[in-house]
Amino acid sequence: MTPIDFRSDTVTQPTPAMREAMMAAPLGDDVLEGDPSVRSLEAKVAELLGKEAALFVPSGTMANLLAVRSQTQPGEEIICDENCHIYYYEAAGFAAVSGCSLRFTRGERGLFTGDDVERLVRHDDEHFPRTSLVCVENTHNRGGGAVWPIEQLADVYGRSTELGLRVHMDGARLWNACAASGLEPADFAEFTDTVSVCFSKGLGCPFGSVLIGDKAAIAKARRLRKVVGGAMRQAGLLAAAASHALDHNRQRIGDDHRRASALAEAIAEIPGLTVDASRIETNMVYFGVDPSLGTAAEFCAKLDDSVRMLDESPQGVRAVMHLHITDDDVARASDLIAQAAGATGSPA
């Protein structure tokens, strides 16, 4: 039987309609005269987020790297949450490429406040690094897919602006934040200087992210993309997939959120596993494994590849919903997880 793959929303395959759109895309040289499908996507996303310009890049990690490098100088400091993607999953690019250090907040589920920014910003003193950038993540991955309340984001942006700081949003799953809140991408982007959005998370694309911001920041980022080896040629094949996903796959994201809640509610009833189902906002379920059932990695191994999940901490497991997951998958996975925990479950 086909494994139920909850490891990430990046495991999806392009749909037949997406493949058709890719094959039909007009192409050009993205470095020379410009690829028309890439330029069309960049303009589309810039308009969607209410910003002046956009840049198509291979990954969210590169988009964040360019955002940091284009808005900081070596030796400066960035304020961000201690569990943010830029710190936790991006191979210290902020240090290796941008020469920056980080100063951490410890916000609830990765969300912090304007007071936190004001408390952490460095005063003008030659002994200290200069604070130049604030980074927020929406939704917050290690915060369990938490969505930034728009008022809280506005507070962080307003206070940061008063202090002379730029604000970057890692919006890899901004589409999920919009689906959960009922807000538009531009509503969140209003309270940022730059935003990265990803097409391989939630939207089912094989590749690609876009960095959005003002013309000056994006022009600098485009040059830096060349520096880090990310300039592309006939990238319209991939841009067409992203454009198709924006038109056809955003509307269904709420189904992922509903299925995440259903899985969490089932797990909450299984002895030895803990999850607060009331805190599931988007497509992610983080749950705890009692040591009596082994470590998180050992618990995942008990499922013998029938249900694939990631052990995110010694006793913590992550499951992520995406467009290939059905209601039947959630029901079957719930039974299999119960069986692995030694609880009674119906046959798979």
33-50 pLDDT, tens digit per residue, is 899 999 999 999 999 999
Give yes or no: residues 118 and 39 share one domain: yes
Rounded CA-CA distance 130/122 in Å is 6
Mean pLDDT of 184-197: 98
Judge if 123 and 96 occupy the same domain.
Answer: yes
Cα dihedral across residues 221, 224, 229, 233: positive or negative: positive
Do 133 and 167 touch, CB atoms closer than 8 A? yes
Packing angle, helices 174-181 and 253-267, rounded to 10: 80
Task: List strands edge to edge, sheet with 77-81.
Answer: 53-57, 209-213, 194-198, 166-171, 131-137, 77-81, 101-105
> Both 102 and 239 in a single domain?
yes
CA distance 174 to 121: 26
Judge if 176 and 226 occupy the same domain: yes
Segment (H or E) for 190: none
pLDDT above 70: residue 346: no
pLDDT at 226 over 90: yes
pLDDT of residue 327: 98
Q: Which domain holds residue 268?
A: 252-340
Tally of domains in the chain: 2
For position 313, which CATH number holds?
A: 3.90.1150.10
In this structure, what token pair is assigned to residue 161? 């602006």
Whether residues 144 and 159 share a domain: the answer is yes
Question: DSSP letter at 148?
Answer: P
Residue 231: what pLDDT?
Answer: 86
Single residue among 248, 271, 302 that ends a domain in this structure: 248
Q: How many degrees, rounded to 5, is the angle at CA 344 between CA 341 and CA 346?
A: 115
Tell me the pLDDT of the chain averaged across its residues. 96
